[in-house]
Amino acid sequence: MAILKVENLNKNFGKIRAIQKVSFEAPEGKVLSLLGPSGCGKTTTLRCIAGFENPDDGKIYLDNRDITNIPPEKRGIGMVFQNYALWPHMTVYGNLAFGLQIREISKEEINKRIKKVLEIVQLSGYEDRFPRQLSGGQQQRIAMARALVFEPEIMLLDEPLSNLDAKLREEMRFEFTEMQKKLGITAVYVTHDQAEALVISDKIVILDQGKIIQSGTPKEIYAHPINKFVAGFIAISSFMEGEIDSFIPEEKKVIIKTNDGLIIHGYNNNLSLGQKVAVTIRTNVIKFVEEKELDLQEKINIFRGKIIQASYLGNTIDYRIKIGRWEVRTNSDAKYNFRVGEEVFFYLPPEEIVITSLI
């Protein structure tokens, strides 16, 4: 187990500023995820930590030991690559043994370690198979085993599940979490899949265009995204935009006026009058209200919209609703059976919508 600390990492490729002032600490025995869109610098960060890339600036510490200039094989770090990169002409045994043989570890020790890692990834007895004789999920597990066979202090994983189909990916998420907990190994896990990051992480670092935008626990980031980008990235959402029109101090509420004059009540203590804000509406917050109930409801945050699309998904229906100049999405109980073109009323609970600064 180890603590990884990254301080002010910069890496340019010619004019491309791949990462800028990236700093974070990966807690001992926990999973830290780097989450962000394609090209935001996730792989570059991992490659710097592993030692395959030299940062232009910054320091990397493993258990307070400065490893910034140590060669990769001496860092005590295991890496699982974005494509598994198993050697196709070698058996599972060959793939797992190769790096150890180079290090002149005894055959007896190699056999012992391979047996142990294959047990961990639940593929005991697969030593003689070639990668082409394995399913995608099994190849993925061998890639993990190949990193584990070095008995690393920490493990870096670059989108390890991205080549798998949706169902297998979900299963493997749980398997990875179980394995990581059992081994108690510190892991840095790269993904651009927000659901994956929420499920597996103890801490999430959100990157955009080479910079850290926010870091925190999954709950913190989900409940209190710092801006519209994070809010949109961490959950499927739709947005309205406007500015802070006034406050209700005794209720700790803010009142937002959208660009097209809609008034929305919500909560956020860190915004100032006139500030440009985004109202984030996640797919589960819209509550439909029947016209005859309207008088009974609070008058705030009730809106009239028009259904512009309805997608039947079995238990639920995905509606797109036009409201003013905005379009919002909701994933609703299939008991609502609205037709395209129909007018609907709905309520946005102030405590369930998320108000953030726009940038």
Ligand X SMILES: Nc1ncnc2c1ncn2[C@@H]1O[C@H](COP(=O)(O)OP(=O)(O)OP(=O)(O)O)[C@@H](O)[C@H]1O
Site for ligand X, rule CB under 6 A: 13, 16, 18, 36, 38-44, 192
Shortest Cβ 128–Mg ion spacing (Å): 32
| CA–CA dist 324, 352 (Å, integer) | 21
Kindly state the smallest distance separating residue 130's Cβ from ligand X, in Å: 27
Minimum distance from residue 268 beta carbon to ligand X (Å):
29
Q: Which amino acid is at 41?
A: G
39 binds, among ligand X, Mg ion, none (CB under 5 to 8 A by kind): ligand X
Closest distance of CB 219 from ligand X, Å: 24
355 binds, among Mg ion, ligand X, none (CB under 5 to 8 A by kind): none
Nearer residue to ligand X within complex by CB, 41 or 51:
41
Torsion of CA 234, 238, 240, 246, to 10 degrees: -50
- Cβ closest to Mg ion, residue 162 vs residue 275: 162
Q: Which is nearer to ligand X, 85 or 223 (CB)?
A: 85
Q: Which stretch binds Mg ion (CB under 5 A): 40-48, 122-130, 283-291, 317-325?
A: 40-48
Q: Which residues contact 118 (CB under 8 A, 6 or more apart)?
A: 92, 96, 124, 125, 126, 127, 145
Nearer to ligand X, 72 or 349 (CB): 72
CA distances from 12 to 38, 41, 44, 74, 206 (A): 17, 10, 10, 24, 19
Please state the closest distance from residue 11 (CB atom) to ligand X, in A: 8
Q: Which is nearer to ligand X, 25 or 193 (CB)?
A: 193
Cβ neighbours for 47, distance < 8 A, ≥ 6 positions apart: 53
Phi, psi of 157 (to 5 degrees): -125, 120
Listed in sequence order, the residues at least 6 apart from 181 whose beta carbon sits closer than 8 Å to its beta carbon are none
Residue 201 in contact with Mg ion, rule: CB under 5 A: no
Which residue from 43, 45, 186, 301 is in contact with Mg ion, where contact means CB under 5 A? 43
DSSP notation for 282-350: ETT--EEE-GGGGGGS-STTEEEEEEEEEEE-SSEEEEEEEETTEEEEEEEETT--PPTT-EEEEE--T
Site for Mg ion in 224-263 (CB under 5 A): none
Nearer to ligand X, 44 or 68 (CB): 44
Which residues contact Mg ion by CB under 5 A?
43
